[in-house]
Structure 1
Amino acid sequence: MLLRAAARQKVILLDFLAPSLLSRSVQTRANPISLQHNDPSPSELVDTVKKELPLIHATRGVSDAQVNLFNKSLVQLRHASTKQDTPAVIKLWRQLEENRLLHFLQQSQVAVVANLLADSFTSGNLRSSDEALFEDVALKAAASRSTNALNELMVLRLKQNNPAAVIELYRRFMELLGGKEVWDEGHIEAEDTVRGTGLVSDDRSKSRRIPHDPGRVALLLAVTAAHAQRDAFQDALQTCLQTVVRFHHQSTKAFLAKFEHDPAFQDKVQVWVKRLHIARMVYRPPSLSKQISNLSSAPSSKLLEELYQAVINGLSGPDAYLAPEPSKITATKSVALTEAGWTSFLAAFLKCGRRDLASKLWTDMSEVGIRPGVSLWTALLDSYDSMRAVEDAAAAWNMMVAQGIQPEGLTYRALISTLFNGRKADEAMKVFQAFQKAPPNGTASQHTLSVYNTVINGLLSINREDEAQALLKQMEAHGPSPDLVSYNTFMAYYGRRGNFKALASLVSRMAAQKLEGDVFSFSTILSALLKAGRDDAPEIMFDIMRKHGIEPNVATYSAIIDHQMRERNERNLEAAMRMLQTMEQDPDLQPNEITYTSILAGLYRGEWLAPEKAEEWRKEIVGRMRQRGVEFTLTTYHILIKACLEYSQPEGLVNALAYYRRMRQRKIPLIHTTWYILLLGLLRRGEWAVAEEIINDMYSSGHQPTGATLDLVRKIRQRGGQ
């Protein structure tokens, strides 16, 4: 019957219907046909129907009458949308909904309806009798990812000073989502830095993140503005904490532009957005700590200082919305800065050399009624260790003890490490002896093994091998039982000296402790053998592994190859290539893209290899990959492009661009991270003309940069004279 209809009728849009019927189980087609398209010829339509008949027949619960109704409605919908006949479009929408066919519409078709509604809301050309129906359609279109109609409706209600209506619309929208906020996408956007605050979005798993979508951000902004009209900051905060959507600078700017008639309202919403960003980050301590760490590595401490000041501002004053610690949470201060947050700021300030800010933090804690705990003192000692500030560390320790703070294992470890690194080994051993005498059930007993391993490392660093060996024997006999870190520290020591007898003894002692060596262990043995001039070093290493019951697999080989490439010398490169050859010749050890990537990235990691030799090896590896049909993944391309752009020789740029072109030839989706890596590398190299070409490619592809990538675009065009 369907074939007869196809031959009879000029336009039957089964090409819309077939994939839509399976939309619950398969992804939407990459290039959906819009409502405004050229009509297919009868012969073309018959071919399409023939191809898609199996899909239609395989779908249960859809009658021929429903198929015909759906197709007819789509034709009418196309004509009505062309004429901008909003009432007719809404009527057809309702008809599809009443016949339970609405969910078969593709997103492009829903967008047509949403755009018409958005125009109605923007112009204010809306009859009161149509409001309920239009609201319902706008909500369902938004739930289908076409949010512009709902956005404009919310803006209209805000301008009418009706915040309750906006909040209710948002509630209904979230209810329609059914708790599923993450739309299926081909990629995940990288984290975006929020201008003016130095913030990034929360560091959650990919399953809880969504790509930046201006429409979704606008909905969150609208409900935030509604709460601002009601002066209900805590309600706005709870709304933000319950969604994975985050504010974005450009989307916020575009949203606020709709309220140019009310500058005071614009300013208020802008302030709330910034405060909500801060509160949201503080609410998730791991995210805050990660962002602080990232900012501490930046060339300037300006953004770090701004972030800290924003947090401090949230802790004090009449509009305070943050609590200084969890025990001080109140109804108006429902989010608390944890000890981990204070500690992260302190460590970051000292890392940046900003002792003035570290001192300010100590003062700020006192002013908000917080007594520095042991974690903060430990962070202070760790920072002094990295700065080799032995006297400062000793003074801090004495002050901590004087204040009655009981040190824990990591606190002892920090001081011991500082003393060893400051060449005060005898004092370090005295502190270690005090640690050993500490009550076994006290806080000092935590992280005991870490303290012992620090002492072993310290003793070996000053060649007090006998004392280190005595301590290891004590650990083996009486505890704490040594772990891989303990033995690997000795491995590194003996490996540097080429002491194969000691290395063999360590492997046996590890076996007696029922410990298997890891990649570091065996890579250390391999490097020592290579240093001794053993051409059969890889074979000896793998024999040792097998002798101790460890059967190397692809992952093991790949990891050891990567470790060898990080040694950055030709001897280790040749060993890596011999291992690669062994893998290629063994059907059970066939190398994958990770294996080859380790070698390729290693060639350009630093400039230890002459450019012509690096190019010879690169061609060799690429040729082997082609011979075996091994293709790079998106992540692999990112690693290689980054490594090549960091290689200062001209070949680095040439190869980075070759990988980029190969990605495009293979039609691999270029995501936010891809463009960021390319533009950052080109900016650092000062390749302004090439960077401009990449920017043009990015915009031509339809990708709209946000956050950090958009900042790179601005910097490139500014420095390149664009």
Structure 2
Amino acid sequence: WDAAEKLIMEMRSESGCELEVRVFNTIIYACSKKGLVDVGAKWFHMMLDYDVEPNIATFGMLMSLYQKGWNVEQAEFTFCQMRKLDVRCQSAYSAMITIYTRLGLHTKAEEVIDLLFKDEIVANLENWLVMLNAYSQQGKLKEAESVLVSMQEVGFPPNIVGYNTLITGYGRISNMDAAEQLFQNLQNLGLKPDETTYRSMIEGWARFGNYEKAKWYYETLKVLGFKPNSSNLYSLINLQAKHNDTNGAIRTIDDMVDMGCQPSSILGSITLAYEKAGRFDDVPVIVRSSIYELVLVNQTTSSVLAMAYVKHSLVGEAIKLLQDKRWRDPAFEDNLYHLLICSCKELGHLESAVKIFTHMPKSNDDPNVHIFS
């Protein structure tokens, strides 16, 4: 980049070359491809300092770059320069709306939407979809539906991305009657629900608290060969804990394992869900599923589970877990027993502390003096 800057200076001062937009666009394009937000911004400011007028390609590349880096300050500056020069780049409006929406600056996003129409931009599909998302994200579903209608009135056919955005929006505010109506109407519009559609319906019904509906969409999603996302799995585990569906929870955990979720993440989801539901006594049965072997071979996950068992007065389960473990690290194990005994003491469960102590593995090394204190 330093060499490129030096070359530009030489072209200007020594060769007397007139710098033009293509020179800077070539460099900005390289920045855009590499995701170098600060470098791209630097070259844009240099471009302006040399009185080289950016064109539509310049603004398109820069705004796309700023969107990837969520750089609102540079995006605002560049967007303002674009409008001053009376350049009308459709993708720049989309990028500015998307950045504001992502950052929760919804009023500013709506201001850019107003500018899009004020500047008489002929909105493309991307423009319509980001407008739709901007309203849906803040729960303004009437405005979002109005955008969808306008989009179709100007000639764009029904679009599954647009309907997914609306369904997600209604799910976010727990208006599942409207979300369900949209879902049922997709076939009439010649649209086929995709993976995102089912994921959104699972999330919506889970947020609404309807386990049967969430479960139905989850099972249908799998039958169709789609995969749930991590949020779907966490939502389902929470509902299964709340509704005391142990077998369902075990199946969900199996799905998590099959999808390659980290054992620590799975274990965290289980313990949080069952603590929240007040059913932690069910955890030992649920954990003895496909995840159990993964827990036993990992020091961290087995330690976390043992501590959780002690916290909930399931000392026998903690002892069994430590007897079943598949790892060997005497120093780590000694410290873990110390932590478990201390936890029992803090909870006032002295009998449990003694029980754990009596099950400690025998060691020829010097005993941990903290355990006897």
Same fold (TM over 0.5): yes
- 1:225 and 2:35 equivalent? no
- Contact 1:384 1:393 (8 Å CA) reproduced: yes
1:25-64 alignment runs, 5 A limit = none
Report the Cα distance in structure 1 between the residues aligned to 2:157 and 2:244, rounded to whole angstroms.
Answer: 43
- Contact 1:221 1:252 (8 Å CA) reproduced: no
Distance 1:305 1:252, change over 3 A: closer
- 1:427 and 2:178 equivalent? yes
Report the Cα distance in structure 1 between the residues aligned to 2:113 and 2:15, rounded to whole angstroms.
Answer: 35
- 1:448 and 2:194 equivalent? yes
Residue of structure 2 in register with 1:283 after alignment: 61
Report the Cα distance in structure 2 between the residues aligned to 1:290 and 1:218, rounded to whole angstroms.
Answer: 24
Residue of structure 1 in register with 2:81 after alignment: 310
Residue of structure 2 in register with 1:408 after alignment: 159
1:181-260 alignment runs, 5 A limit = 216=3, 219-223=6-10, 225-226=12-13, 229-237=16-24, 240-241=27-28, 246=39
Distance 1:494 1:273, change over 3 A: farther
User: Deviations 1:192-238 (Å, cap 9, x if unpaired)?
Assistant: xxxxxxxxxxxxxxxxxxxxxxx657515514634994333135325
User: Deviations 1:631-688 (Å, cap 9, x if unpaired)?
Assistant: xxxxxxxxxxxxxxxxxxxxxxxxxxxxxxxxxxxxxxxxxxxxxxxxxxxxxxxxxx
Unaligned runs of 5+ in 1: 1-180, 182-214, 254-266, 296-301, 317-322, 326-338, 562-569, 573-577, 592-722
- Amino acid across the alignment from 1:305: E
Distance 1:403 1:543, change over 3 A: same
Residue of structure 2 in register with 1:391 after alignment: 142
Distance 1:375 1:344, change over 3 A: same
Distance 1:453 1:399, change over 3 A: same
- 1:586 and 2:364 equivalent? no
User: Deviations 1:293-317 (Å, cap 9, x if unpaired)?
Assistant: 331xxxxxx764322112334563x
Distance 1:275 1:324, change over 3 A: closer
Note the C-alpha offset of 1:463: 2.2
Residue of structure 2 in register with 1:380 after alignment: 131
Residue of structure 2 in register with 1:324 after alignment: 89
Report the Cα distance in structure 1 between the residues aligned to 2:48 and 2:219, rounded to whole angstroms.
Answer: 65
TM-score, normalized by length of structure 2? 0.62
- Contact 1:419 1:427 (8 Å CA) reproduced: yes
Distance 1:271 1:553, change over 3 A: farther
- Contact 2:164 2:197 (8 Å CA) reproduced: yes
Distance 1:397 1:235, change over 3 A: closer
- Amino acid across the alignment from 2:112: L
- Contact 1:491 1:525 (8 Å CA) reproduced: yes
Report the Cα distance in structure 2 between the residues aligned to 1:397 and 1:490, rounded to whole angstroms.
Answer: 31
- Amino acid across the alignment from 2:201: V
Note the C-alpha offset of 1:449: 0.9
User: Deviations 1:21-60 (Å, cap 9, x if unpaired)?
Assistant: xxxxxxxxxxxxxxxxxxxxxxxxxxxxxxxxxxxxxxxx
Residue of structure 1 in register with 2:236 after alignment: 490
Residue of structure 2 in register with 1:57 after alignment: none
Residue of structure 2 in register with 1:527 after alignment: 272
1:38-187 alignment runs, 5 A limit = none
Note the C-alpha offset of 1:279: 6.3
Distance 1:585 1:472, change over 3 A: closer
Residue of structure 2 in register with 1:690 after alignment: none
Distance 1:243 1:400, change over 3 A: closer
- Contact 1:416 1:428 (8 Å CA) reproduced: yes
TM-score, normalized by length of structure 1? 0.35
Residue of structure 1 in register with 2:113 after alignment: 358
% of aligned pairs identical? 12
Residue of structure 2 in register with 1:15 after alignment: none
Residue of structure 1 in register with 2:49 after alignment: 270
Residue of structure 2 in register with 1:34 after alignment: none
Distance 1:218 1:458, change over 3 A: closer
Query: 1:464 aligned to 193, 210, 218, which one?
Result: 210
Relative to its length, the structure with more helix (as a share) is 2
- Amino acid across the alignment from 1:586: W
Distance 1:516 1:216, change over 3 A: closer
Which has the larger Rg? 1
Note the C-alpha offset of 1:373: 2.6
User: Deviations 1:333-377 (Å, cap 9, x if unpaired)?
Assistant: xxxxxx4x432212334542122332112333x35xxx3233322
Distance 1:400 1:294, change over 3 A: same
* Corresponding residue SS for 1:544: coil
Report the Cα distance in structure 1 between the residues aligned to 2:331 and 2:157, rounded to whole angstroms.
Answer: 54
Report the Cα distance in structure 2 between the residues aligned to 1:290 and 1:311, rounded to whole angstroms.
Answer: 19
User: Deviations 1:582-614 (Å, cap 9, x if unpaired)?
Assistant: 8x99358999xxxxxxxxxxxxxxxxxxxxxxx
Report the Cα distance in structure 1 between the residues aligned to 2:274 and 2:182, rounded to whole angstroms.
Answer: 38
- Amino acid across the alignment from 2:111: D
- Amino acid across the alignment from 2:19: A
User: Deviations 1:415-447 (Å, cap 9, x if unpaired)?
Assistant: 1122233443222211111224443xxxx44x7
Distance 1:224 1:414, change over 3 A: farther
- Contact 1:346 1:379 (8 Å CA) reproduced: yes
- Amino acid across the alignment from 1:234: V
- Contact 2:167 2:200 (8 Å CA) reproduced: yes
Note the C-alpha offset of 1:450: 0.6
- Amino acid across the alignment from 1:424: N
Distance 1:268 1:453, change over 3 A: closer
User: Deviations 1:439-460 (Å, cap 9, x if unpaired)?
Assistant: 3xxxx44x71111111121122
Distance 1:390 1:589, change over 3 A: farther
1:710-721 alignment runs, 5 A limit = none
Structural RMSD (CA)? 4.8
